[in-house]
Amino acid sequence: MPFQYYPLDSPVHRLDPRVKIIAVLLVSILLLKASLPSLAAATVGFVFISWASRTPLTAVLKSLKPVLPFFICLFILYLFFTPGSPLPYLSFGPVQVTQEGLTMAITQVGKFLLLVAAASLFTMTTSPIEITTGLERLLRPLKVFGLSSHDLAMMISLAFRFIPQFVIELNSIRQAQQARGADLNESGIAGKIRLMAGLASTLASNMFRRSDQLIDAMEARGYHPGPRTYLNNLCFRRSDYGVLAALTVIAVAVWL
Amino acid sequence: MIEIKNLTYIYDTQQSPALENINLSIQPGEYVAIIGPNGGGKTTLIRQLNALLTPTQGEVWIDGLSTGNVKNHKEIRRLVGMIFQNPDNQIVGMTVEEDVAFGPGNLGLSPAEIQRRVDSALAAVGLSELGKRAPHALSGGQKQRLALAGLLAMDPKIIVLDEPTAALDTSGQTEVFRQIEKLHQQGLTIIFITQDMEEAARADRVLVLHQGRLVADDHPAQVLTRVEWLLSLGLAPPRLVQLMCRLRESGFDIGTDVFDVERACQQISTLVTGQRQMLTDRKPREV
Ligand SMILES: Nc1ncnc2c1ncn2[C@@H]1O[C@H](COP(=O)(O)OP(=O)(O)OP(=O)(O)O)[C@@H](O)[C@H]1O
Ligand SMILES: [Mg+2]
């Protein structure tokens, strides 16, 4: 499954989740304004980090698959609809590929692909628990606005916790539909919609029932909104400070 | 120590009370089964014990703390751990360890203390090896043991279980009961609801709830042998008890408080050898 955590031991896995969250956010912001050469540099950097994380590069590439159609459309739009000087050989009457269009298409689509890849590498090297603990710590300042980072983290971790349940449930409902003679390959949009509506409503009602029971179970174990403590405490190590320093240098360099 | 005084609970004023004037006290270390037909009020009763529900009338006291006072709820929920029927819907954590750490985290303990409690709770239920696993990848029996570990990490005195084995297969059922009995031997008070009369027979005390009223409260040998009465409440008496009662009705001198195959075998074989003895004793005299 794309975006799934790979429990390995690597320098990237060992980094503090807060550092990784900051890195992903910072890189996303910097990328937005990146030119083609800096995008190329970032891609090289990404491939290096991905190699250092010992996760299979193919898994990262797989995570790009679902968004690919969208990016292909985007690529074509940029390619044909950016004004500029037309390229010879690549223009057919009114449809013109321009020099600027080609550069734009590659940089813009490249940026987004790199962003998705970075997010996927992040979730592949950071366990859901680390993500929630990291987010909880980073979001603590939100207390100023009356938002509890503990409650937000709890919500996020429950969402993570329910994903596998959701998939299992989805499959069993599909099987039940099949068993009752529904044709899952039903042709025609109306049929497909009918099928999906049935699936969604059953899934939703099951999930509501589950969450009712989960709330009871949480309350029975003394859950209360607001501050609580965690099994895993986070602390920065030397490598974390190193990465933070490197990020700062890159950020400053790009800024100037 | 649980003390229930004149407890009445009403969900909906249009309906008859779910619990009506219950009086009950349970001493530390007791092993209690609650049985009764569907809608009898079993779940409603045990939800009063950890203050998920509070009395409409009357009082529930847990170790000197009244559930009517919201300030006591935190401590009551630490003292009284609860296991639900569906193993999936009580898992909060993304890993086994993390799930066990949820309760101690709510108590605000330090990470080091949480780790210590998680380790000892997982060891107590025999899941130490699986600490890093995702809970949804466990078997049903393992999930219920995980739920027990989650309670043990809060150091409770009382554990209440709402049909803990109803969603499990036979091996899961034995697995969970072995664990529950181990905890009982360690001095914890155990209260469980069950539809299974063989399970109820394992307890030291059986409560029967019918239409919100406590209609029996006695040793299993006294309660589960009242075949006609149980049938009239819509409960199926244990099969072995039914067998023994039939034999007794047919004139055999046999005890009816028999809940396991071992004892039944013993009783029947003494009966049979006795009969055979009588026959062989009789023959020579006839000659
Ligand atoms: N949330 C609720 N709202 C309204 N009425 C309820 C609610 N929960 C239970 N009841 C009613 O209270 C009565 C007792 O229900 P309870 O769930 O305690 O029975 P039970 O003995 O646990 O039954 P079962 O064997 O089916 O689990 C029933 O008549 C039921 O319809
Ligand atoms: Mg019930």
CA dist., res. A137 & res. B203, Å (int): 47
Contact present, B43 and B236 (Cβ < 8 Å): no
Number of neighbours of residue A148 by Cβ within 10 angstroms? 17
- Please give, rounded to a whole number of angstroms, the shortest distance from the CA of B192 to a CA of chain A: 16
Number of neighbours of residue A69 by Cβ within 10 angstroms? 9
Q: Which of the four pLDDT bands, split at 50, 70 and 90, describes residue B282?
A: low
Q: Which amino acid is residue B196, in one-letter code?
A: D
- Please give, rounded to a whole number of angstroms, the shortest distance from the CA of A143 to a CA of chain B: 19
Looking up tokens 């396991």, which residue turns up? B260
CB contacts < 8 A, A to B, total 93
Nearest CA to ligand 1 atom 18: B41
Of the candidates A74, A63, A15, A64, which has an alpha carbon nearest to the alpha carbon of residue A244?
Answer: A15
Domains of chain B (ranges plus CATH)? Answer: 2-221 (3.40.50.300), 238-287 (no CATH)
Instruction: Say which range, A38-52, A76-90, B45-59, has the weakest mean pLDDT.
Output: A76-90
Interface ipTM > 0.90: no
CA dist., res. B8 & res. B213, Å (int): 9
What's the burial of A17, exposed, middle or buried (CB within 10 Å: 0-12/13-18/19+)? buried
Q: Which of the four pLDDT bands, split at 50, 70 and 90, describes residue A91?
A: low
- What is the per-residue pLDDT for A191? 76
Q: Is the pLDDT score of A46 beyond 90?
A: yes
Residue in A157, A164, A214 closest to B134 by CB: A164
- Please give, rounded to a whole number of angstroms, the shortest distance from the CA of A142 to a CA of chain B: 21
Chain A residue with the nearest C-alpha to that of B73 = A222
Q: Do A213 and B92 touch (CB under 8 A)?
A: no
Angle in degrees, CA A118, A121, A125, rounded to 5: 140
Of the candidates A196, A175, A172, which has an alpha carbon nearest to the alpha carbon of residue B88?
Answer: A172
Of the candidates A98, A106, A103, which has an alpha carbon nearest to the alpha carbon of residue A80?
Answer: A98
Residues linked to residue B24 through DSSP beta bridges, in sequence order: B4
Q: Containing H/E element for B213? A: strand B213-218
What's the burial of A155, exposed, middle or buried (CB within 10 Å: 0-12/13-18/19+)? exposed
Distance B139 CA to ligand 1 centre (A): 28
pTM of the predicted model, to two decimals?
0.79
CA B250 to chain centre: 34
pLDDT digits (tens, 9 = 90+) for B75-120: 999 999 999 988 888 888 878 999 999 999 999 999 999 999 999 9
> Can you give the C-alpha Rg of chain B in angstroms?
22
- Give the CA-trace dihedral at A67, A71, A73, A74, to 10 degrees: 140
Number of neighbours of residue A74 by Cβ within 10 angstroms? 15
Q: Do B52 and A216 touch (CB under 8 A)?
A: yes
Q: Is the pLDDT score of B285 beyond 90?
A: no
B87 DSSP assignment:
S
**Is the sign of the CA dihedral A187, A188, A194, A200 positive or negative?**
positive
- What is the per-residue pLDDT for B147? 95
- Residues of B67-104 as b/e, b for ≥16 C-beta within 10 angstroms? beeeebbeebbbbbbbbbbbbbbbbbbbbbbbbbbbbb
Q: Which amino acid is residue A194, in one-letter code?
A: R
| B43 Cβ inside 6 Å of ligand 1 | yes
Q: Is the pLDDT score of B286 beyond 60?
A: no
Instruction: Say which range, A85-99, A199-213, B133-147, has the weakest mean pLDDT.
Output: A85-99
